[in-house]
Amino acid sequence: MLKSWTGCSGERWPCLDSAPHAGLGHDEYASAVRIEPLPERLYDAAIRLWQDSGLTRPWNDPEADLRRAAGGGSSCVLAAIGDDDGLLATAMVGHDGHRGWVYYLAVDLAQRGRGLGRQMMEACEDWVQSRGIPKIQLMVRATNRGTIGFYEHLGYADSEVVVLGHRLDG
């Protein structure tokens, strides 16, 4: 079910209130999860979740990534928050004006296999679409076959591009 909430940069945006989606019977979070911008009180929990999920790298500062995304006008860190106000999942979403991007999708290990990752991706897709952006994409390490399979199951496909990078911070 969509409801309205204030986004990372103060704008109003429809948000999933974790109602089950038609035809998807494996949602166990129909009434117990809110998907909304990550509150600052859960920043440390988000970073721990990213570390526990193997998403961080020594050359990237996850706290700097989080603060930059949460404070940006074209990005947000979404959180799935349980009825006990605990963090269950995150996804960083943003856009460059042409395409949307998703980073740091992580679901707590104890919560996996219940449709929460799919719900987070739907929330990211809604976030991007609400800004008039026609495409969403993400990067997955080629060796991470399980995660690639997850995204393929959601309808994502290899775009057959090579991502090149160059560090500007040293």
Domain ranges of the chain: 2-137
Confidence of residue 48 (pLDDT cuts 50, 70, 90): very high
Taking the C-alpha atoms of residue 152 and residue 130, their distance in angstroms, rounded to an integer, is 23
User: pTM of the full predicted structure?
Assistant: 0.83
Q: At what angle do helices 62-70 and 43-52 cross, to 10 degrees?
A: 130
Burial class for 19, CB neighbours closer than 10 Å (0-12, 13-18, 19+): middle
Return all residues near 126 (Cβ < 8 A) that are at least 6 apart.
2, 14, 15, 16
Reduced to 3 states, what is the DSSP secondary structure of residue 45? helix
Taking the C-alpha atoms of residue 113 and residue 140, their distance in angstroms, rounded to an integer, is 19
pLDDT at 25 over 80: no
> How many alpha carbons fall within 13 Å on the CB side of residue 120?
31
Higher pLDDT, 62 or 10: 62
- pLDDT per residue over 90-143, tens digit each? 999 999 999 999 999 999 999 999 999 999 999 999 999 999 999 999 999 889
Q: What is the pLDDT of residue 116?
A: 96
Could you tell me which of 162, 135, 137, 164 has the C-alpha nearest to residue 151? 137
Print burial letters for 49-82: b (CB count within 10 Å at least 16), e (below 16): bbeebebbeeeeebeebbeebbeeebbbbbbbbb
Hey, what are 125's tokens?
């897709």
For domain 2-137, the question of CATH label 3.40.630.30 is answered with: yes
